[in-house]
Amino acid sequence: MEHESERQSLRQSIKTSIEQKSAVSAIRDARRLVYISSKAVDVMFCASAFGRVSDAIHAQVGARKLKAFVVRSVTVEPIVPFISVEGVLSNYLLEIRMGGFGSYADELLNPNSALAEFKPDVVMIVLDLEEIAGRLPELCGDGIGAGVGAEIEECVSRIDRLLKGFRGLNDARIVLQGLVMPDRSSLGDVADANVGNSLTYAVSRLNDGLAAVCRSIPDCVFFNVDQIAARFGRARFRDARMFLASRLAVSQEAFRVYARGLVRSMSALFRAPRKVLCTDLDNTLWGGVLGEDGAGGIITGSSFPGNCYLSYQTYLKELSSRGILLAIVSKNNEEDVQEAFRVRAGDLAIDLNSFVARKINWDDKSQSLRSLAEELSVGLDSFVLVDDNPVECEAVRQQHPEVAVIEVPVEEPWNLVEVLGEQDFFDAPVVTIEDANRGKDYKAQAQRAQVAASARSRDEFLGSLGIVCTFQTAMEAPLARAVQLLAKTNQFNLTTRRRSAGDVERFASADGGQAVVVRVRDRFGDVGAVGMALAQNRGEACYIDSLLLSCRVIGRGIETALLAHVAEQAQQNGATRLVGEFIATKKNAPCARFYLDHGFVKRSSTSADDADSVYYELDLAESKLSTPNWITLEGETSHEYAAGTVFST
């Protein structure tokens, strides 16, 4: 066997790493091992190895510990080691608990069920067609399908009630697995494709219905297992023998792709997507080397091989349209690049304006990336670099391990889009209006910077922006955006608590609770919902659980307006003191002095169980907290923005 000796040596070095409790090298070697080997036992070997060093994995690579409960009507157990291993490779330590066969309704809806007692972070719901819509095959059998539509509706609404009922009891995030398309019904391929109510058609509608249910439930994602099966080959994906004998629906050879798909769907519930894609130019955005071949000589356009690069350019444009920021990082001369974009505009699917920033120089790329991160106020762990030069890729991997580096398959440029598509770093279960507008925001940002450069003072500059803030409760604003902010904001985030939609709802609806979202616009554009706060009155005091602001709008007094708003609401709810909390992270230094700067006093006593928290207190009666005068507030009258509060100072 081609890889046998590498396989043996990887297994040996994993063993050694485990003995030395070295998680980093164990994970690196395991990633390689499961890549080169198709043997199930190698995955079990890795699962067992990881199991022995789970503490080291948590401590050394910061893998997130998650408790996952699998609610199911089929056999999943043999796939568990595969799910665990894919989990570790995606930086999760999963503790997986299985539910009983067919007891899923009780597990989900009974507040004293084994599931409830396990207190899972995520629930994976794996039901088969028989369980979800057992009558469908028979109803579709005649191809006429009287009652098929009604049956689908009934099944979808049953799942809807089940999940909403569960959500009422439990905050665990939900992954709902869809159904694999049936193959070879009694109608035969031709009728299956042509009659209106074939089982294929019915299952596809059922999947659409289930996906819609997931969209309507907070912290819930639809796992389209059919996509995985279709990509792998549905005939190879299922195993009729093992399904009929042991209710194991997935064939062993598909365990890996299945587990990877499941973990990838789950991951989107726990991790924010990366924000910036930096692309190299030569042999990446186009073929050839601009400096050698000239603007006329670079390869791009509608015929082969230029169209390989054209599809990559189109892919980038699509990413940009949903808010992924594009940047150029290239060793070239700026004038040459401008000329290439001008001369070859007809052969390029993308123009220079699509890039929010560019580093075209002869610096090393690690340096360029670092300065881009500063310029865009985005952490390097939100960066992706696409580059054809293996040496530069390796240098960036070493200097900035947090950057995701994609090496262009130079010999196979037609595969670049495929390689990018395999990656999960841009996965997001929802796309918000704010995402779609992000590119525009960054351009407006550049215009603001120009105004700032010409303004005589900070106040004059801020006054000239014409900032308008609107406060909404998080229930009025799109909840998805509120949760996205909680998940993504790192720098101006006082406590960095990744609260779920359920948590936000609780703050919004609790007596004396607040879940406030601030929307911001100015004369350059509408940046949308960019900040939020969660707070709760307890007795005389109001405790601020979370307060955060997107880094794009820091330093314009919006943070002060938000705090003043929270204070105002707290007072109306009967509080006399406002208590702020700060938890330092690697990234949130910019807001370390936030409460001190607003007249809060540091509280001396901290209890042992929240040693990371620093508390600050403000006496609301004596506070001079108010919205800066260059900000106009807008909002419903029910929010009682007294004119005096709004325009004081």
Q: Is 29 in the site for other proteins (CB under 8 A)?
A: no
Contact 502, 599 (CB under 8 A): no
Closest distance of CB 44 from other proteins, Å:
5
Q: Is 352 in the site for other proteins (CB under 8 A)?
A: no
Residue in 253, 336, 339, 424 binding other proteins, rule: CB under 8 A: 253
Angle value at C-alpha 188, between 186 and 194, nearest 5 degrees: 115
Tell me how crowded residue 197 is: count the other CB atoms within 10 A of its CB: 21
- Smaller CB separation from other proteins, 242 or 554: 242
Q: Is 624 in the site for other proteins (CB under 8 A)?
A: no
Q: Is 235 in the site for other proteins (CB under 8 A)?
A: no
Q: Which of these ranges, 75-83, 115-123, 151-159, 340-348, lies near other proteins under the rule CB under 8 A? A: 75-83
SS (H, E, C) 16-81: HHHHCCCHHHHHHHHHHHHHHCCCHHHHHHHHHHHHHCHHHHHHHHCCEEEEEEEEECCCCHHHHH
Residues 150-179 that bind other proteins (CB under 8 A): none
Closest distance of CB 233 from other proteins, Å:
16
* Three-class SS state of 153: helix
Closest CA to 79 of 325, 225, 257: 257
Contact 512, 534 (CB under 8 A): no
Q: Which of these ranges, 145-153, 238-246, 316-324, 554-562, lies near other proteins under the rule CB under 8 A? A: 238-246
Tell me how crowded residue 429 is: count the other CB atoms within 10 A of its CB: 18
What ranges in 170-198 are assigned the alpha helix state H?
188-194
Q: Which of these ranges, 76-84, 216-224, 476-484, 548-556, lies near other proteins under the rule CB under 8 A? A: 76-84
| Bridge partners for 404 per DSSP | 384
Cis peptide before 305 (omega within 30 of 0): yes
Residue in 37, 73, 75, 283 binding other proteins, rule: CB under 8 A: 75
Q: Which of these ranges, 240-248, 337-345, 378-386, 619-627, lies near other proteins under the rule CB under 8 A? A: 240-248
Q: Is 593 in the site for other proteins (CB under 8 A)?
A: no
| Contacts of 453 by beta carbon, 8 Å cutoff, 6+ apart | none
Closest distance of CB 24 from other proteins, Å:
23
Contact 185, 172 (CB under 8 A): no
- Smaller CB separation from other proteins, 45 or 223: 45
Under DSSP, the state recorded for 117 is: H
Size of the site for other proteins (CB under 8 A): 19
Amino acid at position 356, single letter: V
- Smaller CB separation from other proteins, 34 or 548: 34
Residue in 7, 21, 28, 44 binding other proteins, rule: CB under 8 A: 44
- Smaller CB separation from other proteins, 81 or 273: 81
- Smaller CB separation from other proteins, 78 or 502: 78
What ranges in 329-364 are assigned the alpha helix state H?
334-343
Q: Is 183 in the site for other proteins (CB under 8 A)?
A: no
Residue in 65, 161, 241, 443 binding other proteins, rule: CB under 8 A: 241
Report the alpha-carbon distance of residue 338 to residue 352 in Å, rounded. 8
Q: Tell me the helices (H) and strands (E) count for the chain, helix number first.
A: 29, 18
Report the alpha-carbon distance of residue 470 to residue 636 in Å, rounded. 9
Q: Is 248 in the site for other proteins (CB under 8 A)?
A: yes
- Smaller CB separation from other proteins, 78 or 218: 78
Q: Is 42 in the site for other proteins (CB under 8 A)?
A: yes
Closest distance of CB 370 from other proteins, Å:
44
| Contacts of 240 by beta carbon, 8 Å cutoff, 6+ apart | none
Whats the size of the chain, residue-wise?
A: 649
Token digits for 399? 């200097």
Residue in 245, 510, 596, 601 binding other proteins, rule: CB under 8 A: 245
- Smaller CB separation from other proteins, 75 or 320: 75
- Smaller CB separation from other proteins, 40 or 468: 40
Q: Which of these ranges, 72-80, 164-172, 370-378, 586-594, lies near other proteins under the rule CB under 8 A? A: 72-80
Report the run of H or E that residue 487 belongs to, with start and end: helix 479-488
Q: Which of these ranges, 248-256, 272-280, 299-307, 462-470, lies near other proteins under the rule CB under 8 A? A: 248-256
| Contacts of 150 by beta carbon, 8 Å cutoff, 6+ apart | none
Closest distance of CB 249 from other proteins, Å:
13
- Smaller CB separation from other proteins, 150 or 245: 245
Residue in 39, 215, 236, 624 binding other proteins, rule: CB under 8 A: 39
Tell me, rounded to whole angstroms, the distance of Cα 547 from its chain centroid. 20
Report the run of H or E that residue 144 belongs to, with start and end: none
Q: Is 190 in the site for other proteins (CB under 8 A)?
A: no
Q: Is 36 in the site for other proteins (CB under 8 A)?
A: no
Report the alpha-carbon distance of residue 270 to residue 121 in Å, rounded. 10
Q: Is 41 in the site for other proteins (CB under 8 A)?
A: yes
Q: What is the largest CA-CA distance in the chain?
A: 80
Residues in contact with other proteins by the rule CB under 8 A:
39-42, 44-45, 48, 75, 77-78, 81, 241-242, 244-246, 248, 252-253
